């Protein structure tokens, strides 16, 4: 069943726009498909442009506080200018590619709080621009990402929170102007450990996996033994016992620091 949202009418007697998403469930590297339907008003109008894009609400550090900012991180123009007759209906199908780095918004059957990602629709008409509300999409993990998440679950870690932060993780293939952090609370056997943070930065072949425990202020510090970065192929991750891999790293760092 499609997801619909109606944009505001563009002036008295003007056109209205409805965006319909064929399927809201996607994965990084996938495609969200839908259709933009423009309903003519009571007068003929010249449509100068129509586009769809993806937008995320991210955290931006500003002085002593963090503020939220909407960032459009991909955009696609749908055709050129055209004349819209009064009362006519103009339907434009689209397939919008989901960047490989797109943060996940759901896993283990739950929507992650605060992960706001969706499709935007923009109509340019008569020297005006009408931007619609966000049509949310649900971004599920890639199989390789799911394997790491399952590894934490098998060790007894519990999801704490997730956020998207403007900035760049050094030493990764990151192209987007923001990244995601997923925070886990440890089970009792890892006493002394406050939390572990996980980030994925993927492309079409592999992904950078960034782990950090007991995080200090600022971006990731590669000089700490509580930071670990490695690469995982998107198609050859099955040969690793990820729960054992994560436990080995946690145990090594914890024993050096007398945490557990």
pLDDT value, residue 225: 62
Confidence (pLDDT) at 252: 87
Neighbours of 156 (CB within 10 A): 14
Low-confidence ranges of the chain (pLDDT < 50): 1, 3-9, 12, 216-223
Residue 130: what pLDDT? 59
Q: What is the pLDDT of residue 217?
A: 45
What was the pLDDT predicted at 219? 44
Rounded to the nearest 10 degrees, how much is the dihedral formed by the CA atoms of 147, 149, 153, 158? 180
pLDDT of residue 161: 94
pLDDT 10s digits, 175-229: 999 999 999 999 988 877 889 999 999 999 999 999 998 754 444 444 456 889 9
Domain boundaries, the chain: 3-139, 143-256
What does the pLDDT read at residue 13?
57
How confident is the model over 166-184, as pLDDT tens digits? Answer: 999 999 999 999 999 999 9
* pLDDT for residue 56: 97
Q: CB neighbours of 200 closer than 8 A, spacing ≥ 6? A: 101, 104, 145, 148, 180, 207, 208, 209, 210
pLDDT (0 to 100) of residue 43: 86
Does domain 3-139 correspond to CATH entry 1.50.10.20?
no
Q: What pLDDT is attached to residue 215?
A: 52
> Which is nearest to 54 in space by CA: 207, 204, 176?
176
**Distance between CA atoms of 169 and 178, rounded to whole angstroms?**
9
The SS3 call for residue 100 is coil
């Amino acid at each position: 069943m499609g997801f619909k949202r109606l944009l505001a009418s563009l002036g008295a007697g003007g056109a209205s726009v409805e965006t319909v998403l064929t399927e809201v469930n996607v994965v990084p590297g996938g495609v969200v498909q839908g259709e933009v339907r423009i309903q003519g008003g009571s007068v003929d109008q010249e449509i100068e442009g129509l586009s769809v894009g993806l937008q995320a609400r991210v955290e931006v550090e500003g002085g002593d506080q963090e503020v939220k900012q909407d960032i459009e991180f991909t955009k696609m123009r749908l055709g050129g200018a055209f004349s819209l007759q009064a009362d006519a209906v103009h339907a434009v199908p689209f397939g919008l590619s989901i960047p490989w780095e797109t943060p996940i918004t759901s896993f283990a059957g739950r929507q992650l709080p605060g992960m706001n990602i969706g499709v935007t629709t923009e109509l340019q008409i008569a020297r005006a621009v009408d931007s619609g509300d966000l049509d949310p999409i649900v971004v599920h993990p890639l199989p390789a990402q799911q394997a790491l998440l399952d590894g934490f679950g098998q060790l007894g870690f519990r999801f704490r929170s997730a956020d998207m932060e403007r900035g760049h993780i050094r030493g990764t293939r990151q192209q987007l102007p923001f990244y995601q952090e997923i925070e886990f609370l440890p089970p009792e056997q890892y006493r002394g450990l406050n939390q572990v943070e996980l980030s994925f930065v993927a492309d079409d072949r592999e992904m950078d996996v960034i782990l950090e425990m007991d995080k200090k202020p600022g971006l990731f510090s590669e000089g700490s033994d509580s930071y670990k970065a490695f690469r995982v192929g998107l198609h050859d991750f099955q040969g690793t016992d990820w729960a054992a891999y994560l436990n080995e790293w946690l145990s090594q760092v914890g024993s050096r620091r007398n945490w557990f």
